[in-house]
Amino acid sequence: MTSHRQPFTVEDLYDLAWLEDAQISPDGQQIAVVQVSVDRQANGYQRSIFLVPVDGGPMRRFTSGSGQDRQPRWSPDGRALAFVSTRNHPQGQIYRIRLDGGEAQCLTALPNGASDPVWSPDGRMIACLSSVNAEERSREERNEPPPAPSDAWAARRAQEERAHAEAQRFDPRVITKLPYRSGTSYFDDRHRHIYVIEVPAGDLEAPPTPRRITHGDLHHAAPAWMPDGLSLLTTASRDPDADSLFAYEDVLRVPVDGASAQRLTGAGYTCLTPQSAPDGSQIAFRRIREDRLLADGAHVAVMPATGGPIQEVTGAIDRNIDQFAWDAAGQSIYLLSGWHGVAHISSSGLPANSTYTTVVGGARLISEFSVAGDGTLAWIAGSTEYPCNLYVRLPDGSERQLTQINQQLLDQRIITPFEELHYLASDGADVQGWVLYPPDFTPTKPAPLVVHIHGGPHVMWGPGYRSMWHEWQTIAASGYICFFCNPRGSEGYGTAWREAIHGNWGYADQGDIHAGIDLLIARGHVDSQRIAITGGSYGGYMTAWMISHSDRFCCAVAARGVYNLLTEHSTSDAHELIEHEFRAYPWENAAQLWAHSPLAHAHQITTPLLLLHSEQDYRVPISEAEQLFAILRRQKKTVELVRYPREGHELTRAGEPNHRADHMRRTLAWFYRYCQETSP
C-alpha cells in the first residue's frame, strides 16, 4: 500500500463514471460507447458518446453532451452514427451524425419522442420506436400533423399547452388493467410502435415524416432488420389483456410496407430480442417458460425465418443467457452468461452442431458485448480492481483493454482485495462468497462485520458487479469486514440452485448466509457481537427475515424490501413473481405466503432496524416498508423509516446522486451507531 492513497468514501460516488452500450463499428476498427458521469450541480447524470479506436488510441468525445446522448448505432458503411438525444426534446429524438465531422442532424420530431434506432441493411432507412395512442394513430392515418409553431415562443407555449392537456386527461385517472404503473410513473393509453425514417442523403435535406408500420393497441419491442431490408423483427404481446409487463411476448415479422405482421411463435414461452442470421435463413431469439417467467433462466432458440419448428441452441447448457449475437458466418452464436461470480462470452454451434466453447473468460464480470463483421468482439466488464472498463478481442484471439475509466481516482484510493470463499452449508452444499477486509485490518483484533445480501432473488453477485463495487469498497474502508455470497436462489449456479428457494423463500437460503458468517467468526476475524446485515429488494426481504429468525445481528438496514407477500403481489408491477415462485394465487395459498412473509414474524425482531424506501417504487411499493415500520413501532422496537421522494426501485443504481449518497451515508451511520465499540 502506498502512502499517498486514501480509503474510499461516499463522496467518491460523484466522481465515478461508467460505460454502457458499447457498439463496435462494422469494420471492427472503433467502438462507440456511452460514458455516464455525475452532474453534481444538476444532481443528475450526463451521457455522452465517445469513440474508442480498437488499435488502442485515446478515447475521443464524439457528442457534446448538451443533452442526454445514448443508444449509438453504426450505419452499415460505418460512416455515420444514429443516436438518441434529449437536446431538443425531453423524451429524446433520433439524430444522425457523420464520422467525418459536422453537427448532428435531427431526423425525427415525433410528439412523444423516439428511441431504439436501427439502420436498414442498405443504410437508407432507420427504424425506431415511438409511443402513440389510438387518437394519435388516427390522425397519422388521416395525414393530419399538428401545426408547426411559428417561432420559439409559440413552440414553448404549445409544449406547455400539451403538457396541461395531458395532465387534464388523467385527472382523475381511471384504472382498468394491470399493471398500471412501473418505474416511477403511471402508464398512459399509448403503445410503443415501430416507425421507419427515410434517411436524407445530405445534412441540408429535411428528413421526411417517419412512417408507422405497426398497428393496434400492442407494445412492440426494439426492432431488428431482416437482411433483405423488406421486414423487421420485433416482439409484441400475444394478449393485450394479459395484465403483464413481462409475459406472452411473441416474435413478429413486420413488413416495411405496413402490411400485417406475421406472428412466428406461440403459447408456452415468452420471447425476447429476435435477430436474423446473416443470410436471412433463420431467426434466433431468447425465450423463457411462461409458467416460471420471473424465476426461470432464458435460453436461445432458432427457427426458420418464415416460421416453423423451433429448436433450442442452449437447451443442454444449464445457464441463463443474458445476451446473444450471431457470428458473421451464421454458423454459431455468441452467448453472454454468468457463472460462479463471473460472466463470460461463449460460442455455441447450432442445434445440429451444438458445441460450446468459452471465447472470452477470466476473472471478470462482462455486462454486455457487440460483434463486428470480421469477428472482433467488444465488451464492458468489471473486476476486482475496477468497476468497469472497455475491452476488445481481435480475430486472432488477442485481447486488449481499451479504457482506464476512473483511473485517476483509483490511483488515489486504497482498493481493498476481494477474497473468494468456498464453504459448506449445514447440508453439505458448496456456497461461494467473497470477503473484503478493512485496509488497516489486524488479524489479532476482531472487527465488526457487514453482511450484504443481493436482490432478485435470481441474481448473481461477483467482485466485478459494477453497481455494488464502490459500496463494498466504502464499507471496507469504513472499518468493517464486508461479506457477500450467492446463496440458494442465486443465478449462475444452474437450475437446481436457482430453483432451491421455489416456494420456500427465507428458509431455503438463510442457512447459506449464516454458514458464511460462521466461517468468518471461526477464523477469529469477526467480533461476533458486532455483526450488521443489509440488502435491497429481495435482499431487504432477507434482511428482515433473518433478523426475525435470529438475534445474532446488532443492527440491520433493509432497503426497498418485500415484507408482506400478500400485499406485494397485489401492489407490485411484477405480481407474477409471487405467483410463479409459489405456484398459486394469494387466494389459493394465503397461509403459505403469510408464513414466508417477514411481517408475520416481525414480533420476534429485536435488532435495531433502519428501513430505506422510495416513495415512487412501483416494483416494491413503499407500503411494504410502512407496514413493517408500523408493526415494529407499535411494539416500541428500535426502527426508523426514511422515505425518498421522486425515486423508484432503482434508487441506489440510477437515482438522484444526492439520494444515492444519502442512502449510503445513512446506512454507514446506522452501522456506526450500533456496531462500533464506542458511540460517536
- Domain assignment present for residue 167? The answer is no
Q: Residue 677's pLDDT is what?
A: 59
* Residue 500 contacts residue 510 (beta carbons within 8 Å): no
- Average pLDDT score over the chain: 94
φ/ψ (deg, to 5) at 242: -75, -10
- At which residue does the C-alpha cell 432503482 appear? 650
* Residue 195 contacts residue 212 (beta carbons within 8 Å): yes
- Domain assignment present for residue 44? The answer is no
| Alpha carbons 420 and 192: distance in angstroms, whole number | 44
CA 330 distance to own-chain centroid = 28
* Half-sphere exposure (Cβ direction) of 394: Cα atoms closer than 13 Å: 11
- Domain assignment present for residue 318? The answer is no
Count of CB atoms within 10 A of residue 176's CB? 6
DSSP assignments along 633-647, one per residue: HHTT-SEEEEEETT-
Q: Residue 137's pLDDT is what?
A: 94
Classify 220 as helix, strand or coil. Answer: strand
| Alpha carbons 221 and 409: distance in angstroms, whole number | 39
- Domain assignment present for residue 650? The answer is yes
The H-or-E segment that residue 566 falls in is helix 565-571
* Residue 405 contacts residue 16 (beta carbons within 8 Å): no
- Domain assignment present for residue 127? The answer is no
* Domain of 586, in residue numbers: 426-675
Q: Residue 65's pLDDT is what?
A: 64
Q: Residue 563's pLDDT is what?
A: 98
Domain count of the chain? Answer: 1
Show the low-confidence residues of the chain (pLDDT under 70): 1-3, 65-66, 352-353, 677-680
* Residue 538 contacts residue 455 (beta carbons within 8 Å): yes
- 138 phi-psi bin (left φ>0, alpha ψ -120 to 50, beta other): alpha
Q: Which cell goes with 541? A: 426481504
| Alpha carbons 276 and 302: distance in angstroms, whole number | 9
Q: What's the CATH code of the domain at 620? A: 3.40.50.1820
Q: Residue 1's pLDDT is what?
A: 44
User: For strand 555-559 and strand 526-536, is the pairing parallel, antiparallel, or unpaired?
Assistant: parallel
Contacts of 260 by beta carbon, 8 Å cutoff, 6+ apart: 215
Q: Which stretches of 314-353 are assigned E, i.e. beta strand? A: 321-326, 332-339, 342-349
Q: Residue 247's pLDDT is what?
A: 81
Would the CA dihedral through 46, 48, 54, 60 be positive or negative? Answer: negative
| Alpha carbons 620 and 649: distance in angstroms, whole number | 7
Note the maximum CA span of the chain.
80
- Domain assignment present for residue 175? The answer is no
φ/ψ (deg, to 5) at 598: -55, -30
For 76-133, write each residue's pLDDT tens digit.
999 999 999 999 888 899 999 999 877 899 999 999 999 999 999 999 999 999 999 9
| Alpha carbons 555 and 578: distance in angstroms, whole number | 28
- Domain assignment present for residue 581? The answer is yes
- Torsion of Cα atoms, 496 then 502 then 505 then 506, to 10°: -30
Terminal alpha carbon distance of the chain: 28
Q: Residue 599's pLDDT is what?
A: 98
Give pTM, 2 decimals.
Answer: 0.95
Q: Which amino acid is at 343?
A: A
- Domain assignment present for residue 281? The answer is no
For 605-657, write each residue's pLDDT tens digit.
999 999 999 999 999 999 999 999 999 999 999 999 999 999 999 999 999 99
